[in-house]
Each structure stands twice: as C-alpha cells, then as structure tokens.
Amino acid sequence: MYVLGIGELDATQVALAGGKGASLGALARIEGLRVPDGFVVTTDAFAEGMTDDVAAAIGAALQDGASYAVRSSATGEDSEAASFAGQHDSFLNVAADDVVEHVQRVWASLSSQRAVAYRERGGVEHAAMAVVVQRMVDADASGILFTADPLTGNRKLAKVEAVRGLGDALVAGEVAPSDDVLSAEQVLQLETIGRRIEARFGRPQDIEWCLDGDGFAIVQARPITTLFPIPVAKDDDNHVYVSVGHQQMMTDAMKPLGLSVWQMVAMIGMHEAGGRLFVDVTPRLASPAMRAATLKALETSDPLIGAALRTVLARDGFVPTVPDAAPPAGGPPAPPEPIATDHAIVEELIAQSESSLAQLEHAIAPLSGSALLDFVASDIQDMKRAIFDPRVLQVILAAQEASEWLNEHLEAWLGERDAADVLTQSVPDNVTSEMGLALLDVADALRDRDDDLPAAIDAGALDAFLDRYGMRCVGEIDITRPRWNERPAALAPVLLSNIRNFAPGEGRRHFEQGLQDAQAKERDVLARLNPEQAAETKTMIDRLRTFSGYREYPKYAIVCRLWVYKRALLAEAERLVTAGVLEDASDMSYLTFAQLQDAVRTQSVDRDAIDRARAAFESYTSLRPPRVLTSDGEAVAGSYAARDGAPAGALLGLAVSAGTVEGRARVVLDLEHADFAPGDILVTTFTDPSWTPAFVAIDGLVTEVGGLMTHGAVIAREYGLPAVVGVQDATRLIRDGQRIRVDGTSGYVEVLDR
C-alpha cells in the first residue's frame, strides 16, 4: 500500500508510516483535536522507489491548487529514543504538481551525511522513510509547545514559544519567539490541548502547532527525549531524590540485574529511574531533628547536592515540616562508640572477610536452579550484616574523625591547611592503592614483552594480579559489567603507560616516597607544637594511619562477593540457554533478580520484556543523571559559592587533595583508552577504584563527580595528587591537551591556554 490517509493510521503503524505519520494518525483520533488533512506515502513506496504506480497513488490523493507540507517520517523519527529533529528534509508550501519531486527529495535525505551520523551515534541500525503530505495551514501564528520544561525537566511547567505566521524559522532557530502573538487565554487553551496529547501518549510532548481563524491545529507531536525519568512513587506527595551514582562514583546507566542486585546490597531503600538509583530523602528533610544532619552529611559528600537541596527547601511547602517524624525504617544504624587505636582490629576484620569469602565459594559451588538464587538472596543479607559489623563503622569513623581533627587543629595552631592529606600517604591496608602499585610490578615483569602485550596477557602474565584484583572493573557496583577477569585486555593501556613512563621498581619507590613524605610531615608539625599539643596530635596521627587504609576494604569485600555471585549466575544463565529459556546468557542482564528467580523456577521468560529492557537501557545511556531530582521531574542544579582567590573564569569544585599542579589535561572517559605521559592531569566524569592503576601515571585529578570521602579522593590523597572533584561539565569545558592548573587546596581548576 503506497498511500494512506492520516485518519487511517494509528500509533502502531510506525513500520509503515514512520514515526511522524503514526503519531499524526494517533493525534487525529483524539476527539476534538484538529489535525490538518493529509496522507502518508508509506515505506512500501520508499522500498519500490518512484514507480509510475507510486506517482499515480500520490497524484490521486492531491487536490489541484492546494499547497502542501511535505515532511519526513522515518521509522525511527519522533520516537521515545530519538527525535531526529532537523536530520531529514521537510518542505513547506509545495504546489500539488511538485509534491512527487519533493517526496523524492525527502527520501534522499535519509542518506545524507548528517542523518547517517545521527543514526550511528544513536545505534539505529536500519531506517526506512515514509513521507507525510499535509494541507498547509494559513497560519496567523505558529510555534512550539513543550508540556514539560525541556531545561529543568519539571513536568508541571509547560513552555510555549510562538511567532507570527509560519513557525518553520522558529523551529530552525532562525528567529526568536515573540511575546505578543498569543493572548493569555490562548496560551491556557494551548496548554490544555497539550495535556490531552500528553495523556494520550503517556509522556511529555514536544508539539508543533498553528493558529488560524478556525483555532489551533496540531501538525506534529513527539516525545521530549532529553527528559530524565522520574522514580515511581506510591503516592502523589512531593518527593526529593538524591542520586546514588554520585555517591558511588558510577553515574553510567545500569542494567536491570545490576540495579536490582545493588538495591539488595544497599542498607537503605533505593528507587530506580533512567537506569540509575536514587534515595528518597524527603522524610529526613521533613524532620527538623534530622534535616540539619542530613544536609551536613550530603554537603560533605558533594557540596552541589547540598546546594540543590537547600534550593528545594527554600520553596514554600514543597517539603512540609513534620515535627514528630520518626527516623525512617531501614536506615543505617546509629553511630558506634569510639574504638581503641589497635591495628590488630583491622587485621582481624580483613581475616574474617577473607574467611567468609572462602566459605561462600565453597558453599555456592554445588548449587543450581532455585536453590542457587535463594542462596544468593540469603547470602546478601548475611554480607550486609558483616559489612556493617559495629567495628567496621568504628574503624572508618575513627579515621575520618582523626583526619578532621588534624586538619582543624593544625590549621588553627600552625596555619597548616589539609595536613592530613600528606599524613595519609602510604598508609597500610589500603587495598585500592596497593592495587595501583601492584600493576606497576606487573609492568616490570612485562617490560621485555611490551611489543606483544596482548599475547603475554593471554599467556597468563596477569594471573597473579587477577587472582587478587580481577573482580574489579569500571562501574563495578553493576554486577553485569565485565570484570578484569573476564576482559584482562582492558588493563593493557595502563600497563603500556607504566612500562613507557616508569623505570623498574617504581611501585616500591612510589610507596616509600609517600611514606617518607608522611613521616617528614609528622616530624615537622610535632616539632612546632608545644608538648601538650604535640601529644594530642601524635595520638591522632597514629589513629589516622592505623585506620584510614581500611576505608577502602568494605567495598572491595562487596565486589569480591559480587564476582562469586556473578560466576554462579552466569553458569545458571548458560543452563537456561541450553533449556531454550534464554537466547543468550547475556540476556540475564536485562532481567531483575526477581525476574531471574521466576525464570529459573518456571523455566520460562518473556523475551519481549527482555527486548524492551534492552531498548530502555540503550535509551538511558545518553542521559546525564541529576544530582537531585524531584517528583515533578525537575533536575535541581546546585552551584558553588564565590571562591576567594579563584581567578576569573576558573572552574570551581571541591578541594579533596591538597597541592597545586600544572600540566596537560588528558580528558579520558574510558580507562581502556587511557594513555598518559609524565605531567598529565586526568580529567574525567568519575573515578571508582578501578581507575586507581591510572593514578600512578598522572600528576593531578579533576572529576565531574565526587566528594571528600569518595574513592578517588581517598586515593588521590594517599598518592599525593592534587585533586578537585565535583567540577560541573569538566569534560566538556576542558579540552584534551589544554594546559591547566589544578588547585587541590582551594578547589578550582584554571584553563591556562584557551
């Protein structure tokens, strides 16, 4: 069928009418909504080409003397995943005799360089082109209606832009909208129409409209594809959500299995939206007794989160005060009692964790089917109890409090800022920093094989390293991410950098230098204090160095257990493939843990649901999650206060590791593409523990995400790297290769060559 009237179409006919055509068909079915008359030249016609039959079908649908809009309607166009706005050609005021020619021109635009590049960037493998042909509206005014604010995401705010006459120049960005085209009554009428369209399609819409003597006509509606989804709430109350990814240093989208397993691991309830996890902090903000502590904790973790929350709290009534609110159930336990400074405590905690891991590996080995899934669910609860052993929190808090005490008192007594940063260099028991140094030792062993590093890796040159650290990877909180054990070649770029940039023995030298710097700093500050101050300070330094290395261990222990679970679950997925339940073992990643349990129990699965989950994940990968999100859909942005001493134009952030360094910016978004030279400064979105091997090769660190106690900050301090984190849009505002200055004491980054 070559031509179909718009009234014959509906939203299910994308394959035949393209995205725009199917959408117009659905719009035409909304009672009382005016859609200009027209038809669609279908993808069947596109497949045939402009044959005599196709031309005849188009001609039969036209009216002599009428003018038409001839507009693209590719199969991926105006979809939830991509808008294709401006990528294909469309034409206005086309005479009936010229429609066939313009249909061909629209077809040709499918193969334009910009359209091909757009499809490749969006992962669209195949597209066909239908063409919408509609009667032109003799418009007094035209414009765009967004049923949600496209900048903030607020679903309760609509935005209208209008110009006199036709709106094609407005859509193309060639003219500015006019404020006096529509009356207030007409704006409200237009918003009402927009809400009806939004209700029909189930999500906010980008709507093109025209106004003539007969009222408003709708010529296009498509989803606003840039909005971040909202967590599903059980009520209609206002909610404020804080990003988990900004706390865990992993803001990438996660697959369903990864999301659900981390929700099981977490000590607090988490909500999913856009492939990310969020915590609803509304109850804590509503309680006067908890509000101040909540704000302080989140501001310490990430000042921009704190600033955004204060913006929300300043709005009357959005978070109503509930004086008698009790602490929410399921939160972390109360702070533990202080603990004696005794390294044997750390040794015992590590030994218990390693013993527990060995027991897990032994117990899980013979299990399969529902018994395996039930065991994993139960073991996660046992793991949570072990991770939050009171002594674990005592050790971590002891180190944190010692650091704060030293920074506060040594600045007051001696004018020393951030003295604890140097005093924590080369502490014992830091499993993450030890990993970076261990890879330097691997580089030493491979120096004579760097010309064929992949073969050396395949031959087992990394086996000892992987036995200890192979369960790690970028984004390791997502159990579905490939571990280094699964893809050891991911470490090749860092190994090559180590071989190229360092002499043999650098791992030991690096540790010894850090230790010497810490000892020198200790001697220096103690010598300048009076005896009473020196005694107190020495006690705190010993406490800091005894306990601060353990800060990295609990997450390492969790990741070790996730790797044991993953191997067992992958084996179960292979059994499901053999049984014909799954097409491929990787399909498991697109099931939640509960869905996987059901699939194992029933030996059946909804494969369409897997396909939908895969498509949803792909659509989420291009979204940038907000630090703070409201139930209205608003991504609330925080900002830094003006910084004394920061140069004009400097990029502000959070100072997490003292010192100043100048060097070449290396903007690296993927560790597998890391290539560093001496003097380089790493600029990236986030760094979780897997980035640590790169830290030995750089002189400074800048990230878009992070806080004072996140992993990247902890390791930067231990390695003595000046670091500034939480720099908004750092990877966009700093170009690879630019020379920059990083002030890790004051918390700013200066671009030296523009």
Residues annotated as catalytic are 711
CA atoms of 229 and 242, how far apart (whole Å): 14
**173 φψ region: left (φ > 0), alpha (ψ -120 to 50), beta (else):** left
Helices (H), 40-134: 43-48, 52-61, 99-109, 113-122
CB contact at 8 A, 423 and 404: no
CB contact at 8 A, 331 and 294: no
- For residue 277, give the 3-state DSSP assignment: strand
Q: Which pairing describes strands 700-703 and 723-725: parallel, antiparallel, or unpaired?
A: parallel
Token reading at 122: 């969006």
Quote the Cα angle for 415-419-421, to 5°: 150
Token reading at 439: 């890879």
**52 φψ region: left (φ > 0), alpha (ψ -120 to 50), beta (else):** alpha
Write the burial class of residue 179 (CB in 10 Å: 0-12 exposed, 13-18 middle, 19+ buried). exposed
Closest by CA to 149, choosing from 206, 233, 218, 77, is: 206
> What is the side-by-side order of every strand in the sheet holding 723-725?
651-652, 748-751, 739-743, 660-667, 680-684, 700-703, 723-725, 654-657
CA atoms of 82 and 120, how far apart (whole Å): 12
- For residue 738, give the 3-state DSSP assignment: coil
Quote the Cα angle for 384-390-396, to 5°: 95
Closest by CA to 553, choosing from 373, 702, 348, is: 348
